[in-house]
Amino acid sequence: MSVFNTVESGVNQFNENSEKIIIKIENLVKRFGKLEVLRGINLQVKKGETIVIIGPSGGGKSTLLRCINKLEEYQGGQIYLDGVDINEYDVNQLRARIGMVFQQFNLFPHMNVLDNLILAPTKVKNMPRDEAVKKAKVLLSRVGLLDKIEAYPEQLSGGQKQRVAIARALMMDPEIMLFDEPTSALDPELVGEVLDVMKNLARSGMTMLVVTHEMGFARDVADRIIFISEGVVEEEGPPDEILKNPKKQRTREFLRRIL
């Protein structure tokens, strides 16, 4: 629990915070032309939960995250953030509340690390530059990269780029973080440093949806694992259950291939 969450729940004597549903997805349907990629996804995420999403390539995991962040339109169903349909939010406000980290880092190559971090808060939130710089320094120390504040993305390793991308997303004080295979493009020896940052974030009380094949991470920090195949939630449960005793044949086959 972060200090912030502790203070917040202290105000509320019933501590309903920990049980609060922050994202609710009902019957989500997404098509690309005739191809139905999400075929009725249902999912509820509690505040502070870390959910790991697994499943075969092409099953719709990225599309699901992109719908939550309004990077994709969808054709059926609803997504609620804090009980409000996401279509009611201004898209910039929504993306400020839901940060996203991609496989391919997506840093602005012509900007140094500091400028990558302060761009969105100064533009979207009108944060004064000196305040943004101060915040950037705090977050860069948190991901262990304060000494790279003036570096350009091309001067960084993949692991460093991804840690900068996480710090950049945190600049907006998101309530939820979406990670789409954040370590898949990394050399194996750089995976750990990124997972460590994500573990700390999860332990600080951040609500996280993480698409990953890192089952060690899932075992350590996931509250639930969701197995998505062919556009539906095929199976879900705590890591112990899903990893040790999956009920569905498809889940078993998938795990056998990746473990």
Q: Which residues bind ligand ADP (CB under 6 A)?
A: 32, 37, 55, 57-63
Closest approach of ligand ADP to the CB of residue 180, in Å: 7
62 binds Mg ion (CB under 5 A): yes
Dist CA 234 CA 229 (whole Å): 6
- Closer residue to Mg ion in complex, CB, 62/229: 62
Closest approach of Mg ion to the CB of residue 129, in Å: 36
CB 46, CB 40: distance < 8 Å: no
> Which does residue 205 touch among ligand ADP, Mg ion, none (CB within 5 to 8 A, set by kind)?
none
Residue closest to 52 by CA, chosen among 161, 201, 178:
178
Other beta carbons within 10 angstroms of residue 2's beta carbon come to 13
> Among the candidate windows 56-64, 89-97, 123-131, 132-140, which touches Mg ion by CB under 5 A?
56-64
Closest approach of Mg ion to the CB of residue 92, in Å: 24
> Among the candidate windows 6-14, 25-33, 37-45, 53-61, which touches Mg ion by CB under 5 A?
53-61
9 binds Mg ion (CB under 5 A): no
Closest approach of ligand ADP to the CB of residue 47, in Å: 25
Other beta carbons within 10 angstroms of residue 67's beta carbon come to 23
Type and span of the H or E element at 256: helix 249-258
- Closer residue to ligand ADP in complex, CB, 55/153: 55
The first and second tokens of residue 174, run together, are 């998101």
Closest approach of Mg ion to the CB of residue 34, in Å: 20
> Among the candidate windows 54-62, 90-98, 221-229, 231-239, which touches Mg ion by CB under 5 A?
54-62
> Which does residue 120 touch among ligand ADP, Mg ion, none (CB within 5 to 8 A, set by kind)?
none
CB 149, CB 167: distance < 8 Å: no
**To 5 degrees, how large is the angle CA 60–CA 65–CA 69?**
140
Beta bridge partners of 227: 54, 235
183 binds Mg ion (CB under 5 A): no
Closest approach of ligand ADP to the CB of residue 68, in Å: 12
Q: If you write DSSP's letter for every residue of 84-144 in order, what string do you get? A: EEGGGS-HHHHHHHEEEE-TT----TTS-HHHHHHHHHHHHS---HHHHHHHHHHHHHHTT
- Closer residue to Mg ion in complex, CB, 116/251: 251
Contact positions toward Mg ion, by CB under 5 A?
61-62
